[in-house]
């Protein structure tokens, strides 16, 4: 069986002493193995990144932009190959994989403007014959640690801004779907990226802990579940690193009585069940304002769910594919069981779902839970599966309170025709990314992505302008060239323009 290794200093490195199976979630078969890097291999990657840093830092930003541009072209040319790897190891439908890759490519496109993004600020005559400017300097060797659910997009969110700004990187993708990032690293070399600038190590906690504690790593970008995000943030900061760690989510959509219900239902179908609900911005709770709204919403969702097509991601006529692992499928089913036991109505039941010809795949059918209440485990925790919970409330104020009280604050949305209500909602809700009649308000590449509350730890967001802040540090230079022959007297007062 093929063993997926690492990419260090522009070449494949094996280190296969410890390995783990990589499964095709549609068939349940182990299709490859992934090597789990030892501390020594991660240290080798860090050493190569450190050696590559001085030349890369001094490479003119315009040259770095040209490499970004060639990488964008290569990612476009190889998109079918990349998407096939995503679907093979993650399970999502090919068209959905293409959407994820495209959003990652848009980050590369944004960073093609890196010379402009790194332009500093200049002030002439801040004092007599004194000029001052500030510039953004690269940090050095930085690390990225990424989750399984976007094996192309999230590594691109982190790695591309980091290297475009002049840092060198060691990236550790998810061990559950490691192949596509290795291919992307090879394409980056083809695009002209010097060896050692982008290194990929596959692995588990041993690799992550090495990155967290090695003094040469200056900053860490992490995306994954909240318990691990919190661990990465605490450990990284304790080791003196700059850390941005994005975590889990429970995204609510409020459905107001005046909403265009048909459009809201169409939007919720994609937002709740697309990618099997394995998206950090998936809508997992619909908060219906008023029983009449809730009854109509549930009836329409049930009607639409009867036509939802679930099957292998290789067939683009399917709306969603399997979940990532057998354990995760069982966990999702456990949440449905617990909601039922705690009194929720299982309006559409995805348990016991099989796809003919794919009986060993990790499928769960789309599930709709009605009359979910905030005390239920299925409401409190992130399910990360094709399960939409309907919570019934009496007013918009009650709906907003529910959202504000939840520990997560990644994304949210309101469906309404009332501009005043929408404006009040977006202004006051305690969530980082807000949609108004837009169910997946994932910011585009020239804005930045960041949740609030326990969905994100540390300052700055991912990609966009925030990523330039995160992956650089400001230096301010003040210079003076006294005119020839001028002799000065000592100044003991604090210098000012008085
Ligand atoms: P995860 O937290 O299990 O893993 C993320 C990364 O951390 C992986 O690379 C993994 O190898 C590593 N890791 C796992 N356990 C570790 C440990 N004990 N010590 C050190 N490293 C460890 O997350 P996942 O299951 O791969 O991804 C799904 C989660 O990611 C969901 O909670 C989802 O909401 C979240 N997510 C968040 C965003 C966001 O932008 N906020 C985006 C995508 C995914």
Please tell me the predicted confidence (pLDDT) of residue 16: 85
Output the CA 199–ligand 1 centroid distance in Å: 20
Question: How remote is the CA of residue 362 from the centroid of ligand 1, in Å?
Answer: 19
What's the CA gap between 440 and 454, in Å, rounded? 19
- Domain finish residue from 407, 436, 465: 436
Atom of ligand 1 nearest to the CA of 227: 2
Q: What's the gap in Å between 222 CA and the centre of ligand 1? A: 8
Instruction: Using only the alpha carbons of the chain, give its radius of gyration.
Output: 25
Q: Residue 335: inside a domain, yes or no? A: yes
Span 410-462, pLDDT tens digits: 999 999 999 999 999 999 999 999 999 999 999 999 999 999 999 999 999 99
Number of domains in the chain: 2
Residue nearest (by alpha carbon) to ligand 1 atom 35: 224
Contact 22, 52 (CB under 8 A): no
In this prediction, residue 443 carries a pLDDT of 97
Ligand 1 atom nearest 175 alpha carbon: 11
Tell me: do 33 and 119 sit in the same domain: yes
**Structural element, H or E, at residue 161:** helix 153-164
Ligand 1 centroid, distance to 27 Cα (angstroms): 23
Instruction: Answer yes or no: do 364 and 462 share one domain.
Output: no
Question: Contact 429/451 with Cβ under 8 angstroms?
Answer: no
Same structural domain, 209 and 280: no
Q: Are residues 386 and 405 in the same domain?
A: yes
Q: Whose CA is nearest to atom 34 of ligand 1?
A: 248
Q: Does residue 415 share a domain with residue 470?
A: no
92 is a domain residue: yes
> In the chain, count of helices (H) and strands (E)?
16, 23
Provide mean pLDDT across the span 45-55.
Answer: 98
3-class secondary structure, 152: coil
Residue 223 within a domain = yes
Question: Is pLDDT above 90 for 476?
Answer: yes
pLDDT tens by residue, 363-417: 999 999 999 999 999 999 999 999 999 999 999 999 999 999 999 999 999 999 9
Q: Give the pLDDT score at 317.
A: 98
Nearest CA to 280 out of 109, 144, 433, 401 is that of 433
Q: Tens digits of per-residue pLDDT, 260-288?
A: 999 999 999 999 999 999 999 999 999 99
Predicted local confidence at residue 456, as pLDDT: 98
476 Cα–ligand 1 center, Å? 37
Tell whether 224 and 259 lie within a shared domain: no
CA–CA separation, 114 and 353 (whole Å): 48
What's the pLDDT tens digit per position in 207-264? 999 999 999 999 999 999 999 999 999 999 999 999 999 999 999 999 999 999 999 9
* Dist CA 211 CA 281 (whole Å): 27
Same domain, 279 and 238: no
Mean pLDDT of the 316-332 span: 98
By percentage, how much of the chain surpasses pLDDT 90?
Answer: 95
Q: Both 259 and 397 in a single domain?
A: yes
Q: Name which residue sits closest to atom 43 of ligand 1, judged by CA.
A: 280
Is residue 332 a part of any domain in this protein? yes
Burial of 209 from C-beta contacts in 10 A (0-12 / 13-18 / 19+): middle
Active-site residues, by number, are: 280
Pick 16 or 100 by higher pLDDT: 100
Asked if the structure places residue 484 within a domain, the reply is no
What per-residue confidence (pLDDT) applies to 270?
A: 97
Q: Which domain holds residue 240?
A: 3-247+455-476
| Same structural domain, 198 and 307 | no
- The rounded distance, in Å, linking the Cα atoms of 67 and 80 is 21
Range 235-265 burial, b when 16+ CB lie within 10 A, else e: bbbeeebbbbbbbbbbbbbbbbbebebeebb
| pLDDT at residue 141, as a whole number | 98
Q: Is residue 160 part of a domain?
A: yes
pLDDT digits (tens, 9 = 90+) for 139-154: 999 999 999 999 999 9
d(CA 122, CA 188): 34
Given this model, what pLDDT does residue 129 score? 87
Residues 367 and 285 in one domain: yes
CATH at 305: 3.40.309.10
Which residues' Cβ are closer than 6 Å to ligand 1?
145-150, 154, 172, 174-175, 204-205, 208, 223-225, 228, 246-249, 280, 382, 384, 410, 451, 455
In this model, does residue 491 exceed pLDDT 90? no
- What is the pLDDT, as a whole number, of residue 486? 74
CATH classification at residue 198: 3.40.605.10
Pocket test residue of 225, 275, 410 for ligand 1, highest count of atoms within 8 A of CB: 225
CA of 245 to the centre of ligand 1 (A): 10
Closest Cα to atom 20, ligand 1: which residue?
205
Q: Per the domain annotation, does 29 fall within a domain?
A: yes
Residue 106 pLDDT > 90, yes or no?
A: yes
> Are 234 and 255 part of one and the same domain?
no
Strands (E), 331-463: 345-348, 367-370, 387-393, 408-409, 411-415, 433-436, 452-453, 456-457
pLDDT for residue 15: 87
> Does the residue 488 lie in any domain?
no
Supply the mean pLDDT for the chain. 97
Bridge-partner residues for 255, per DSSP?
288, 415
Residue 428 and residue 464 in one domain = no
Mutate to test the pocket of ligand 1, among 36, 149, 156, 224 (most ligand atoms within 8 A of CB): 224
* pLDDT value of residue 315: 98
Q: How far is CA 370 from CA 251, 339, 384, 406, 414, in A?
A: 16, 10, 18, 19, 19
pLDDT of residue 8: 98
């Amino acid at each position: 069986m093929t063993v997926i290794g690492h990419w260090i200093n522009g070449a494949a490195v094996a280190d296969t002493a410890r390995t783990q199976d990589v499964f095709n979630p549609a068939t349940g078969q182990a299709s490859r193995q992934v090597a789990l890097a030892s501390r020594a291999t991660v240290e080798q990657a860090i050493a190569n990144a450190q050696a590559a840093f001085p030349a890369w830092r001094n490479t003119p930003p315009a040259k770095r932009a040209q490499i970004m541009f060639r990488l964008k072209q290569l990612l476009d040319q190889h998109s079918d190959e990349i998407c096939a790897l995503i679907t093979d190891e993650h399970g999502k439908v090919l068209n959905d994989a293409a959407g994820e890759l495209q959003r990652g490519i848009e980050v590369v496109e944004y960073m093609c403007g890196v010379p402009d993004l790194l332009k500093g600020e200049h002030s002439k005559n801040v004092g007599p014959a004194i000029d001052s400017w500030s510039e953004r300097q690269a940090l050095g060797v930085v690390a990225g640690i990424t989750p399984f659910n976007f094996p192309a997009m999230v590594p691109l969110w982190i790695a591309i801004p980091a290297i475009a700004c002049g840092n060198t990187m060691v990236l550790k993708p998810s061990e559950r779907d490691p192949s596509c990032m290795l291919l992307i690293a090879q394409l980056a070399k083809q695009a002209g990226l010097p060896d050692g600038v982008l290194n990929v190590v596959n692995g588990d906690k041993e690799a992550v802990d090495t990155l967290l504690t090695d003094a040469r790593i200056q900053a860490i970008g992490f995306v994954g579940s909240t318990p691990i995000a919190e661990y990465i943030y605490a450990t990284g900061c304790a080791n003196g690193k700059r850390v941005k760690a994005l975590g889990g989510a429970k995204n609510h959509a409020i459905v107001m009585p005046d909403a265009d219900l048909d459009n809201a239902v169409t939007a919720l179908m994609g937002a709740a069940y697309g990618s099997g609900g394995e998206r950090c911005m998936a809508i997992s709770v619909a908060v219906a304002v008023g029983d009449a709204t809730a009854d109509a919403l549930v009836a329409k969702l049930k009607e639409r769910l009867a036509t939802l097509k679930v099957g292998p991601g290789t067939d683009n006529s399917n709306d969603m594919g399997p979940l990532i692992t057998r354990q995760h499928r069982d966990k999702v089913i456990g949440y449905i069981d617990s909601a039922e036991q705690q009194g929720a109505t299982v309006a559409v039941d995805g348990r016991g779902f099989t796809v003919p010809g794919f009986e060993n795949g990790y499928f769960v059918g789309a599930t709709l839970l009605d009359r979910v209440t905030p005390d239920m485990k299925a409401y409190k925790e992130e399910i990360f599966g094709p399960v939409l919970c309907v919570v019934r409330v009496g007013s918009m104020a009650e709906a907003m309170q529910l959202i504000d009280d939840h520990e997560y604050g990644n994304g949210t949305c309101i469906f309404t025709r009332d501009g005043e209500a929408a404006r009040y909602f977006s202004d006051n809700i305690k969530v980082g990314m807000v949609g108004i009649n837009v169910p997946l308000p994932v910011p585009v590449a020239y804005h930045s992505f960041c949740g609030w509350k326990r969905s994100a730890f540390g300052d700055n967001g991912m990609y966009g302008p925030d990523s330039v802040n995160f992956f650089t540090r400001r230096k301010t230079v003040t210079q003076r060239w006294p005119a020839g022959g001028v002799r000065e007297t000592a100044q003991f007062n604090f210098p000012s323009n008085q």
